[in-house]
Amino acid sequence: MIFQKKTRTNTMALDATFWVAVSFVIFFGGLVYLKVPQKINEMLDKLILDIKNEIDESEKLRSEAKTLLDSAQKKLNTAQSASKEILDQAKKDSDRLIIELNDKFHKSSEIKKNSTQIKITQMKNLAIKEIKNASVKIAVDSVKKIIATSVDKSKLDNLFEKNLDETKAELKKINL
């Protein structure tokens, strides 16, 4: 009996291994018969093609994005240079305007100063003339009173006419 048990286990082990091997061969044979490796290969090829297409599309999008970025950068640079030119021109214009306004102010001040000096000189000359006229009038009146009180009337008229003519002549010299 002991002997029988040992052979039975060996046969069983051999039988199980054999059946596993047979089922393994049948399984792979079934896979080949059903063309599963070709279908897996086709699916993998399709996946590879899809991934390749997506990579190509992303490359295309990346190049378009780079082109757009370069274009936007050029526009930004152009806008920055234009704004700098505008600011520089505005600064030049404001400096020029400040200089012009400053010059106009100084010219206006100079004109007002000259006008004021001319008016002062005219007023001074007018005041001097009025003072001279008043002095002459007072002197003539004084001479008339002195002569009227000290000399007779006929001599006085001759003297008065003579002095009056001399005074007029002197006034004409002063006024000229």
pTM of the predicted structure, to 2 decimals: 0.40
pLDDT at 147 over 80: no
Place of tokens 């297409």: 53
pLDDT of residue 1: 43
Alpha-carbon span 120 to 127, nearest angstrom: 10
Distances (CA, A) of 127 to 2, 17, 112, 124, 135: 167, 149, 22, 5, 12
Q: Buried b / exposed e across 109-135, counting CB within 10 Å, b at 16+?
A: eeeeeeeeeeeeeeeeeeeeeeeeeee
Alpha-carbon span 156 to 154, nearest angstrom: 5
The answer to whether 141 and 163 are in contact (CB under 8 A) is: no
pLDDT in tens, 94-143: 999 999 999 999 999 999 999 999 999 999 898 888 888 888 888 777 77
Joined together, the tokens standing for residue 3 give 């002997």
Q: What are phi and psi of 35, to 5 degrees?
A: 60, 40
pLDDT in tens, 41-91: 899 999 999 999 999 999 999 999 999 999 999 999 999 999 999 999 999
